Structure 1
Amino acid sequence: MTDMIHDNPTPWVADHIRRFEETGGRPRPGVADLLLTTRGRKSGLLRRTALAYVRDGDAYVLTASNAGAARHPAWYLNLLATPEVTLQVGAATFTATARPATAVESARLWPTVVAVMPSYAAYRTATTREIPLVLVTPVGPTD
């Protein structure tokens, strides 16, 4: 992905992306963070957002919570359309493939996700939609 990247315009997310870049990918205290770049399903533009994650083996587990909103976040809809994404974890940037977790994987992973980010439990009760978990697996080396 060599096109110009468009950062999430939400002010707190844009600030988080800027801080992530300024610190060379240093996460927030107590939170594992990464930058996810997807291809816009409508625009075709590269879209970047900052997200918390947990690990499951080689996969990075992302939560498409959208803070409990009634609709899925745009980044989730984008990766459904184009599952090839780019992740920046710390100083490493690499290509990865994203897919929604299966029902069995989600049931196993939700307790871990909530243990790391307790706000996700509240988001689940704030919406009637199923909040998807996404498994993002590196395509090649991650250094």
Structure 2
Amino acid sequence: MAAPEQGETIEESPVGWVAEHVRRYVATDGAEGDRYQDYDALLVTTRGRRSGILRRTALYYGRDGGDRIVLVASNGGAAAHPNWYLNLAADPEVEVQVGAERFRGRARTVSGEERSRLFELMTKVFPRYAGYQRDTDREIPVVVIERA
């Protein structure tokens, strides 16, 4: 993802409760919103694959080792991948905010044994992921973000 141009805006999720969560997270520099319903949450900013607009959403996350961030593109078990995932699949350069810390990263979808291991890790972080996988025919993508 190219660096935001001066004055370039970032659009929050079109889902009302997610947008409110993101606004609170940003307004408090991560002091509020880094925990959501008792789970660790971060903000990820992607560039829209068709629009080119920066888009930000809040997601639950885990860690694999010290700096590797792990995300699950569950979309609540829906048949389609979430837009944030489609955006980072098209342009893997992302911005991440964990609490007050912000950094650029590069995302990649994992597969095989690595996916299995990390999906299991993430079901311990957020147990509903296991049910979401059972509810859909698609293999839910697991994403690793490493600092750029």
Tell me if both proteins adopt one fold, taking TM over 0.5 as the criterion: yes
Task: Name the structure 2 match of 1:104.
Answer: 113
Distance 1:95 1:66 in 2: 23
Task: Name the structure 2 match of 1:28.
Answer: 35
Task: Name the structure 2 match of 1:120.
Answer: 129
Query: Is the contact made by 2:110 and 2:141 (CA closer than 8 Å) also made in structure 1?
Result: yes
Is 1:137 equivalent to 2:146 in the alignment?
Answer: yes
Distance 1:38 1:138 in 2: 15
Deviates more, 1:30-39 or 1:61-70: 30-39
Q: Which residues of 2 match residues 65-76 of structure 1 at below 5 A?
A: 65-76=74-85
What letter corresponds to residue 15 of structure 2 in structure 1? T
Q: Which runs of 5+ in 2 are unaligned?
A: none
Query: Is the contact made by 2:41 and 2:98 (CA closer than 8 Å) also made in structure 1?
Result: yes
C-alpha distance after superposition, 1:32-73 (max 9, x if no partner): 111000010000110100000000122100000000010000
How many positions carry a matched residue from both structures? 139
- Structure 1 ranges of 4+ moved more than 4 A: none
Deviates more, 1:9-18 or 1:19-28: 19-28
Is 1:43 equivalent to 2:51 in the alignment?
Answer: yes
TM-score of the pair, normalised by structure 1: 0.92
Shift of 1:111: 1.7
- CA RMSD, 1 decimal: 1.1
Is 1:56 equivalent to 2:64 in the alignment?
Answer: yes
Give SS of 1:33's match.
strand
TM-score of the pair, normalised by structure 2: 0.89
- Identical positions, percent: 51
